[in-house]
Amino acid sequence: MGTGQKSNILINPLAAQAMEKFKYEVASELGIQIPQSGYYGNMTTRDTGAIGGHMVRKMIEAYQNSLANQSGQF
Mean pLDDT of 63-69: 91
pLDDT at 25: 95
Residue 31: φ, ψ to 5°: 75, 25
Give the span between the Cα atoms of 29 and 73, in whole angstroms.
33
Give the span between the Cα atoms of 67 and 51, in whole angstroms.
24
Mean pLDDT of the chain: 86
Per-residue model confidence as pLDDT tens digits over 10-22: 788 888 889 989 9
Per-residue model confidence as pLDDT tens digits over 26-62: 999 999 998 888 788 889 999 999 999 999 999 999 9
Whether this prediction's pTM lies above 0.95 is answered by no
- pLDDT higher than threshold 90 for residue 8: no
